[in-house]
Amino acid sequence: MVLALHTVSGQVADVSPKMLEHPHFKNYLVPVEEGRKPFHPDMYKGGTVEEKARTGFLDRFKKLEDDEVAVEDETHIEEED
């Protein structure tokens, strides 16, 4: 099973991996990381996966690939002796 966000309701549930490829449901389901909580209905605006991708909303749900490394922005200042 895969944890997925339903982009219309904002709810999160375990679904079969095949559901993510289904002709209808692939427009409304997005895989998310374990521990993701559902959105509060009053604070969530629903839409399709395509609509959410256009607004950049889905960027926060992308997982890093195993070979990718998250790099934080740091400024290094070298001190002169």
Residue 67 in any domain: the answer is: no
Instruction: Find the domain containing 21 and state its range.
Output: 2-61
How far apart (Å, rounded) are the C-alpha atoms in residues 63 and 58?
A: 11
Residue 73: which pLDDT band, with cuts at 50, 70 and 90? very low
Residue 81 in any domain: the answer is: no
Residue 70 in any domain: the answer is: no
Q: List the beta strands (DSSP E) in 1-81.
A: 2-6, 12-15, 29-31
Residue 78 in any domain: the answer is: no
Q: Quote the number of domains for the chain.
A: 1
Q: What's the pTM?
A: 0.72
Q: What is the pLDDT of residue 63?
A: 58
* Total length of the chain: 81
Residue 52 in any domain: the answer is: yes
Residue 56 in any domain: the answer is: yes
Query: What tokens were used for 43?
Result: 């604070």
Comparing 9 with 59, the larger pLDDT belongs to 9
Q: What is the pLDDT of residue 66?
A: 42
